[in-house]
C-alpha cells in the first residue's frame, strides 16, 4: 500500500464510509484467513467475523489515530485468528437494526437470476454452483453427487466465483 492509499483510507474513515473500506479489504481478509486456515471451511466464518468486528469498532466510535487502516485490518485479522485457534468465540453480534437482504423475500427471482449467471460457466463449475447455491448442498455432498473429490469441487467453485466476479464487473 502506498501513502496515497493510506490517505484515501483515512478520508473514507473520517467520512464514515465504512462500507467502502470493508469492501476494499474483504478480499485481503478472506485470503489471509484461507491461507492461515489452509482452506478450512472455518476460514469464511473467521473472515466474516473480522469484517463484523471492524464494523462493530466503527459503530462504537473507535478511531486509530495515525495508524493506517490497513494496519488495523491486519491486526484485527491476527487477533481473530488467534482467538479461533485458542478456541475462543470470535463471533461479533450483527449491528442493531440489521435486516436480512431483500433477496430472502424473493427466492424465485433470485434462483432465476443465479441460473442466468451460471449459464455462462463451464459445465463442471455450473453444476457445482447449482448444487451449492440453488440446492444448498455442502461441499462433501456435491462431491458425492458429481463423483468428484472435495478438492475438485472447491477448485470448480473457486474458478466459478472468479468468472462470476468478472461477469458482474463487466455488467
What is the CATH code of the structural domain delimited by 3-85?
A: 1.10.1740
Give the mean model confidence (pLDDT) for residues 118-146: 87
User: Residue 162 to residues 20, 89, 125, 154, 159: CA-CA distances in angstroms?
Assistant: 20, 31, 11, 12, 5
Alpha helix ranges (H) inside the chain:
3-14, 18-36, 42-59, 69-85, 107-119, 123-129, 139-146, 150-170
Burial 5-32 (b: 16+ CB within 10 A, else e): ebebbeebbeeeeeeebbebbbeebbeb
143 close to 150: Cβ distance less than 8 angstroms? yes
The reported pLDDT for the residue numbered 75 is 92
146: pLDDT confidence band, cut at 50, 70 and 90? very high
pLDDT in tens, 22-63: 889 998 998 888 888 886 678 888 888 898 888 888 888 888
109: pLDDT confidence band, cut at 50, 70 and 90? very low
The reported pLDDT for the residue numbered 107 is 53
The reported pLDDT for the residue numbered 104 is 45
Domains 3-85 and 102-170 share a fold: no
Right CATH number for 102-170 from 3.50.50.60, 1.10.3210.10, 3.40.50.2300, 1.10.10.10? 1.10.10.10
147: pLDDT confidence band, cut at 50, 70 and 90? very high
Q: Domain limits of the chain?
A: 3-85, 102-170
Mean pLDDT of the chain: 81
Amino acid at each position: 500500500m502506498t501513502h496515497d492509499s493510506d490517505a484515501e483510507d483515512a478520508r473514507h474513515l473520517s467520512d464514515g464510509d465504512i462500507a467502502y473500506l470493508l469492501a476494499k479489504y474483504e478480499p485481503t481478509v478472506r485470503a489471509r484467513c484461507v491461507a492461515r486456515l489452509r482452506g478450512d471451511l472455518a476460514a469464511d466464518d473467521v473472515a466474516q467475523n473480522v469484517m463484523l468486528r471492524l464494523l462493530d469498532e466503527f459503530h462504537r466510535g473507535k478511531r486509530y489515530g495515525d495508524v493506517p487502516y490497513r494496519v488495523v485490518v491486519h491486526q484485527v485479522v491476527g487477533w481473530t485468528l488467534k482467538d479461533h485457534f485458542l478456541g475462543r468465540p470470535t463471533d461479533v453480534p450483527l449491528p442493531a437494526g440489521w435486516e436480512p437482504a431483500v433477496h430472502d423475500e424473493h427466492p424465485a427471482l433470485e434462483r432465476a437470476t443465479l441460473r442466468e449467471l451460471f449459464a455462462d460457466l463451464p459445465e463442471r463449475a455450473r453444476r457445482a454452483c447449482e448444487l451449492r447455491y440453488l440446492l444448498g448442498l455442502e461441499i462433501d455432498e456435491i462431491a458425492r453427487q458429481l463423483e468428484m473429490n472435495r478438492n475438485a469441487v472447491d477448485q470448480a467453485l473457486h474458478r466459478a466465483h472468479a468468472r462470476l466476479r468478472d461477469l458482474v464487473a463487466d455488467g
